[in-house]
Structure 1
Amino acid sequence: MVMTAMAAMDTHGAERAVTVVLVSAIASGQGKTTSTAALARKLARLGKSVRVFKTGPDFIDPMMLERASRHAVQSLDLWMVGQKQSQAMLAQAAQQADVILIEGVMGLYDGNPSSADLARAFAVPVLAVVDASAMAQTVGAVVMGLRDFGPVQLAGVVANRVASTGHARMIAEAMRDIPLIATLPRQQQALPERHLGLVLPDEVVALEQILDRLADQLELDLDAWDALPKLVFSPPAAPILPSLLSGRTIAIARDAAFAFLYPANLDCLRELGAEPVFFSPLNDEPVPAGADALYLPGGYPELHGQALARASRWQQSMRKVHAAGMPILAECGGMMVLTEKLVDKQESTWPMLGLLPGTVVMQNRLAALGAQAWNTPQGSLRGHAFHYSRFETPMQPQMYTQKHTQKHADGEAGEAVYCDGNLTASYFHSYFPSNPQAAAALFLRRKP
């Protein structure tokens, strides 16, 4: 049975009125992440306590926003996270923050549920980011359309890639009753990207200086900002989860090759009683001694094929714990390293662990994108898939049980889930709090 209702315990705190905006746009590529990061850093410099959320399943944008705000960035999503849990997370953040920024996903009305659906569910006003580099007065028409199509409560606009003060003035005049909250000039140095989105923060040279410069260049109308409506939050009830993983140590790979990990997943494991310990396969660190289970999250193993192929101590420890029957969960990039071979985008072939027969091949075409659910014996575990590789495998049914997740959009079969004893592997990224019992079961030994 899926755990949706949680028992409550007494909480301390009082109602708090907080400025909350959802930062969205007409499409991807308008500068939502850049604008959200600049706004978070700017407000923090002004003495505000800022918390940031990211709409929908995402790993890389939250890492960048965490660096900008200096606080962990959680996901909000009406389907994967759920409305009740999203509300609780907002209420918890409001106990510590003066400002909550929620970065949307894609365009304001894209997806089901969309960023607009989230904004309406929690009565959050929208701050629209518009790339104004090739228009001026037409910005007014764009933002009025964004406001009225849904409609949504439009708090104001961030005009991105503005050429001059005169350009900004034309935009402001064209928007009539919609305030121009902030402007950003065209950037000579943008945040770099690769096939799954932004690069990891630790790979960006002088990231702190870039974020500081963005904050410096963000022209924020403080009067307009202070005039934004505030939302009132009551202290949330503290969740109580069963101690299904009490006393268990879970080894988690974490480095540039295995970086795609929801902060909420770590929180959930701890609330279930587990102690996470981290290690780096890229640094050839073995699975930590004393671990009871192993978690290989997704990431960019295809960018580190040579290092992983040469990490003999890590490889030896992985084969040893698998042979001993240790519960192993491998997601996306974590699954890729369990195969026999990995072919990267340069067509170089790297030997991997060989625990799953077959080869992973990187491709230019997106292989899967979207929310999915896995119907486990403990109920539905929600999450998503996003990858550019394919898994070519001759797996035999008598050796492996093959199951599938289900796509949220149309109910069709999603990613395959491969099970071999206590090893579970898939391109599917699980969001543990959607079903803590199902998550816990992945780290417990299965009966033969």
Structure 2
Amino acid sequence: MKQRVTIIGCGMGGEKTLTGEARQAIEGCGLLLGAPRLLEPYRIAKEPCLRNEEIVRGIRKSDAREIGVLVSGDPGFFSAAKKLTALLYGYEVRVVSGVSSLSYFCARLGESWDDAYVVSAHGRDGVHIARAVATHEKTFILTGGENSAAAICGRILECGLTGLPVTVGENLSYESEKITRGTPEELRGLEFDSLSVMLVENPATNAFNEMDSGDAIRKKPSASAKRAPVPRLMIAGVSSGSGKTTVTCALLAELVRRGYKTAAFKCGPDYIDPMFHSEVTGARARNLDLFLSDEETARRLLAQNAAGCDITVIEGVMGYYDGLATGTRASACHVARTTGTPAVLVVDGKGMSASIAAVVTGFLRLREGNNIRGVLLNRVSAGAYLALKELIERETAVKVYGYLPVLKECGIASRHLGLVTAAEVRGLKQKLDTLARELGKTVEVDALVELAGQAPPVEYCAQEFPRLDKPVKVAIARDHAFCFYYQDNLDLLGQMGIQLVPFSPLCDTALPEGASGLLLGGGYPELYAKQLSGNAGLLAAIRQKITGGLPCVAECGGFMYLHESMEDGEGVPYPMAGVVRGRCVKTDKLNHFGYIELTAKKDGLLHKAGQAARAHEFHYWQSDAAGDGYAAQKPPRGQSRDYVHSTDTLYAGFPHLYLAADIGAAWRFARACAAYAGGKI
């Protein structure tokens, strides 16, 4: 007889918030599993379990016909029930609703909750929570981890929000229930239970995000939040080099071969992998980065860029939990949790047997709610796979979806940010076609598609952007030397009325006619230094235009191009545009790598004095004129240094900006280009 598992919402945990249906379901069970405090009132056979994998093991070893899993609150409200259901394949699963902390707390306060913006602080960035408070009249917060109620109050104050009414609830429905009212200033120094709830009111908000000098972006209120069906999954890795890029590209190629319309995303700031996905597989590719953008923006971009696709594949970054410093912020796990994406972990199985179960177990247990729903094995033989699959599924209760064997003829070597030339693409496509066909035989692709289909709709807030009265042309450098652009940046500028006109600094002798702005992105100018230097007419024209006030954003390679001279890969210097009075020279090491926080020291093209921006950099070349328009700091609290050239019409420096999450900077650039063109805004 098939066992039935009932996931039962127990309200706040106290018996007075237990519904009649929940009580009846509990009484009909032969075994109860859940947190000790939830199990305590009942005399039925019970087994304390805190983690989903422990619950699944308890279910699998039980012969009870009816099994109950007790969860606090309501199973559909920030509960582990959704993730647990995905693990209970082969069982009949029923869900019994309960009283959520939101409805209970607001009832205790005599407040409505249909107009509240809801956010969970578990594993989230406190700054993003504070931004939610800044843009909503009423925000309900589930605290957790480092984001205690006191810590969140501190973050709110750091954003300049003072005097707001804040109410904190602890131990709701129990005899020790405590409700504390105050302001962020009064509450930031107090101690609260780690799993508390908060209601923050901000009556002064007008649903606008201020940008600069009276400019504003209107956000639609929470009532108009959208829900987009996006079938999706993440291919993540145990570490860098575990094979996730190979598996991702092979899976995308196989999905395309089977006729699926696919979308692809890369976690983190990398330019190369999205180019690789797009050029080799034909899939649309973007970035999802939770340092460069806030969580709401990431969800919106995921939903909008995956619209109309049958399936979306997100490639992780580094190891699944690897984020800023030794934390998980901006990690693949952070992205999976923020977007509600099921993750499949790629594990390199070469040279392992029983230890592979320990590796998988460690990843499953490190963080609760990690969204890991399966495993793919890389570099194992067909003979070893069956034994490893049985071992992992027995020990961890997570499904193994297949494997990729070692295919020496399909090896794809790691490169130092190498360009994918046309000839290489043909070679790579042949390799990936072989990999895809092999993956089609050794991986349960249909089961992965089914897993992607179980992902919940992506919830996001629609956003409106300001637009120029008439289109303005902006020249954008696009060729083999300049190819690094975040497509979401370009899309945003287009929505604001910017008409991007591509040109080649390698081949064209003049800027596009009528250009009222200039984008010089990153790339590989050092590989083409001699050819770029030989195009003297264009260099002179660019120097004349920029010094004459043409608005220009030059990042990394584009910044190098603006120097008086730049060395090539052999260390030979070549004359360049001469806008920046200095030399750009080759070094033998990676000078600056990773995320960076910028604070404007004075008013400039993109930011006003004191405004902050987040960026990313990766460069072996160094400048003796790096600029002093911004104070730069490596997060979380690195040493500050002067960086970037900034004037009313120029941003030029090594850091790459993500304008898709810095709407104000994009709008300032658009306005400057319109002013140069003489148009009205």
Using the TM superposition, give the Cα deviation of residue 227 of structure 1 relative to its aligned residue in structure 2, in angstroms.
4.6
| Partner SS for 2:523 | coil
Q: Sort the Cα spacing of 1:111 and 1:254 in 2 relative to 1 into closer, same or farther, 3 A.
A: same
Q: CA deviation at 1:423?
A: 2.6
Q: Residue type matched to 2:398 in 1?
A: I
What do residues 53-83 of structure 1 show as CA deviations (whole Å, max 9, x unaligned)? 1111111111011234423312112231210
Q: Which residue of 1 aligns with 2:398?
A: 178
Task: Indicate conservation of the 8 Å contact 1:15/1:232, yes or no.
Answer: no
Pairing partner for 2:658 from 426, 431, 435: 431
The CA distance in 2 between the partners of 1:16 and 1:440, in whole Å, is 27
Structure 1 residue 22, shift from structure 2 partner: 1.8
CA distance in 2, matches of 1:161, 1:155: 20
Instruction: Check the 8 A contact 2:466/2:667 in 1, yes or no.
Output: no
1:441 aligns with 2:668: yes
Q: Check the 8 A contact 2:475/2:501 in 1, yes or no.
A: yes
Match of 2:522, SS state, is coil
Please list the CA deviations of residues 82-127 of structure 1 after superposition, one character each: whole Å capped at 9, or x if unmatched: 1001111232345412322111111111113121122222332211
State whether structure 2 residue 630 is matched by structure 1 residue 419. Answer: no
Task: Write the letter of the residue equivalent to 1:350.
Answer: Y
1:290 corresponds in structure 2 to: 514
Shift of 1:392: 1.6
Residue 135 (structure 1) aligned with residue 338 (structure 2): no
Conserved? CA contact 2:613–2:662, under 8 Å: yes
Residue 123 of structure 1 is matched in structure 2 by 340
Q: For the residues of structure 1 that align with 2:419 and 2:354, how far apart are their CA atoms?
A: 34
Structure 1 unaligned runs (5+)?
none
Q: How far off is 1:192 after superposition?
A: 4.1
The AA in structure 2 aligned to 1:217 is E
Supply the AA of the counterpart residue of 1:387.
H
Larger CA deviation: 202-211 vs 293-302: 202-211
| Deviation larger for 58-67 or 117-126 | 117-126
**Residues 1:377 and 2:628 aligned together:** no
1:148 to 365, 377, 402: 365
After superposition, residues 44-443 of structure 1 pair within 5 angstroms as: 44-112=256-324, 113=329, 114-151=331-368, 152-162=370-380, 164-176=381-393, 177-187=397-407, 188-196=409-417, 198-200=418-420, 202=422, 204-206=424-426, 207-218=428-439, 219-222=442-445, 224-228=447-451, 230-233=454-457, 238-244=462-468, 246-375=470-599, 376-377=607-608, 379-393=611-625, 402-410=629-637, 412-413=639-640, 416-419=643-646, 422-442=649-669
Q: Which moved more, 1:104-113 or 1:418-427?
A: 418-427
Name the larger-Rg structure. Answer: 2
SS of the aligned residue for 1:105 comes to: coil
User: Counterpart amino acid of 2:614?
Assistant: R
Q: Which amino acid aligns with 2:655?
A: F
**Aligned letter for 2:644?**
V
Name the structure, 1 or 2, with higher relative contact order (CA <8 Å, separation 6+): 1
Describe the superposition over 1:270-306 as per-residue Cα deviations: whole angstroms up to 9, x where unpaired. 1111100101112244211110000100111111111
Q: Give the distance between the partners of 1:56 and 1:415, measured in 2 at CA.
A: 25
How far apart in 2 are the matches of 1:26 and 1:364? 30
Deviation by residue 1:331-370 (Cα, 9 ceiling, x = unmatched): 0010001112222342222222222122112223211122
Give distance in 2, aligned partners of 1:420 and 1:16. 41
The answer (yes or no) to whether the contact 2:268–2:317 under 8 Å persists in 1 is: yes
* Paired residues, number: 440
Name whichever of 226-235 and 272-281 sits farther off: 226-235
Give the deviation of 1:420 after TM superposition.
5.1
Question: Counterpart of 2:371 in structure 1: which amino acid?
Answer: Q
Shift of 1:401: 5.4
Report if the CA contact (8 A) 1:256-1:299 is conserved. Answer: yes
Looking at structure 2, the residues matched to 93 and 337 of structure 1 have their Cα atoms a distance apart, in angstroms, of: 32
- The code of the aligned residue for 2:669 comes to L
Q: Secondary structure at the match of 1:79?
A: coil
Question: CA RMSD, aligned part only?
Answer: 3.0
- C-alpha distance 35-201 of structure 1, shift in aligned 2 (>3 A): farther
SS of aligned partner of 1:232:
coil
Instruction: Give the distance between the partners of 2:630 and 2:466, measured in 1 at CA.
Output: 27
1:43 aligns with 255
Q: Cα 1:72–1:413, aligned 2, differ >3 Å: closer, same or farther?
A: farther
Alignment CA distance shift 1:70-1:371 (3 Å): same
Q: Deviations over 1:170-197 (max 9, x none)?
A: 321221233221322324243344323x
Q: Helix, strand or coil: the match of 1:281?
A: coil
Q: Which moved more, 1:42-51 or 1:241-250?
A: 241-250
Task: State the alpha-carbon separation in 1 of the partners of residues 618 and 547 from structure 2.
Answer: 30
CA distance in 2, matches of 1:282, 1:192: 28
Contact 2:229 2:457 in 1 (8 A): yes
TM-score (norm 2): 0.60
Task: Return the letter of the residue paired with 1:404.
Answer: A
Judge conservation of contact 1:52–1:69 (CA < 8 Å) in 2. Answer: no
Q: SS of 1:119's equivalent?
A: helix
Q: 1:4 to 1:248 in 2, by over 3 A?
A: closer
Greater Cα offset, 28-37 or 265-274: 28-37
Q: What's the CA shift for 1:18?
A: 4.2
Q: Deviations over 1:221-278 (max 9, x none)?
A: 1453255261232685543211158421110001121111000011110111110010
Amino acid of the structure 2 residue aligned with 1:256: H
Whether the aligned pair in 2 keeps the contact of 1:200 and 1:256 (CA below 8 Å) is no
The sequence identity of aligned pairs, in percent, is 33
Question: Per-residue CA shift, 1:198-226, capped at 9, x if unaligned?
Answer: 53354624133233222112122145325
Distance 2:355 2:662 in 1: 46
Q: Is the 8 A contact 2:217 2:465 kept in 1?
A: no
Closer, same or farther in 2 for the Cα pair 1:252/1:155, shift >3 Å? same
1:417-445 per-residue CA deviation (whole Å, 9 max, x = no partner) reads 11356232110111112222212323516
> For 2:558 and 2:336, how far apart are their aligned partners in 1?
34
TM-score under structure 1 normalisation? 0.89
Conserved 8 A contact 1:372-1:414: no
Q: Partner of 2:103 in structure 1? A: none
SS of the equivalent of 1:102 reads strand
Provide closer, same or farther for how the CA distance between residues 311 and 133 of structure 1 changes in structure 2, counting only shifts above 3 A. farther
Contact 2:230 2:307 in 1 (8 A): no
TM-aligned CA deviation for residue 385 of structure 1:
1.4
What one-letter code is carried by the residue in structure 2 that aligns with 1:181? Y
Q: Is this contact kept in 2: 1:63–1:201, CA < 8 A?
A: no
Q: Does the CA contact (< 8 Å) of 2:340 and 2:458 recur in 1?
A: no
Q: Secondary structure at the match of 2:574?
A: strand
CA contact (8 A) 1:64 1:201 kept: no
Q: 2:128 aligns to what?
A: none
Distance in 1, Cα, partners of 2:270 & 2:558: 17
Moved more, 122-131 or 135-144: 135-144
With over 3 angstroms needed to count, the CA separation of the structure-2 counterparts of 1:401 and 1:92, relative to structure 1, is closer
